[in-house]
């Protein structure tokens, strides 16, 4: 089944899921496009957040109904889960983010 993510699902991440991690909204490995498995600007964002590194330069345009706080909570909850394998987690969170926002790498906010 094709992966979809709605603003309601992004907002549905609970404080408990944020504290202990979740894989609830993570796409299945087979639903993740190859460019996310190989690495792209979204997976670079996920990697920077995961390792606490500076974020790549660029701007984010959120899907209507998704707030920065909700996306941040959703992403962090999925990054701190103990499952699945690291490669799946990075590719999956990158793909999850691409469904909730558009990242324009290298562009500065106006």
Is 110 a domain residue? no
Is 46 a domain residue? yes
Quote the number of domains for the chain.
1
Is 64 a domain residue? yes
End-to-end CA distance of the chain: 38
Is 1 a domain residue? no
Phi–psi pair at 9, nearest 5 degrees:
-65, -40
In this prediction, residue 109 has a pLDDT band, given cuts at 50, 70 and 90, of: low
Two structure tokens written together for 43: 């997976």
Residue 10 pLDDT > 60, yes or no?
yes
Is 2 a domain residue? no
How do residues 35-49 score in pLDDT, each as one tens digit? 999 999 999 999 999
Is 84 a domain residue? yes
pTM of the full structure: 0.91
Domain interval for residue 47 = 7-105
Say whether 104 sits in a helix, a strand or coil: strand
How do residues 55-71 score in pLDDT, each as one tens digit? 999 999 999 999 999 99
């Amino acid at each position: 089944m094709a992966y979809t993510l709605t603003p309601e699902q992004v907002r549905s991440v609970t404080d408990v899921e944020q504290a202990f991690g979740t894989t609830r909204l993570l796409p299945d490995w087979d639903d993740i496009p190859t460019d996310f498995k190989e690495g792209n600007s979204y997976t670079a964002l996920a990697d920077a957040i995961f390792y606490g590194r500076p974020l790549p330069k660029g701007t984010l345009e959120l899907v209507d109904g998704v707030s920065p706080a909700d996306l941040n909570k959703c992403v962090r909850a999925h990054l701190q889960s103990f499952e699945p394998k690291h490669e799946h987690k990075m590719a999956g969170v990158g793909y999850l983010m691409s469904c909730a926002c558009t990242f324009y790498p290298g562009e500065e906010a106006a």
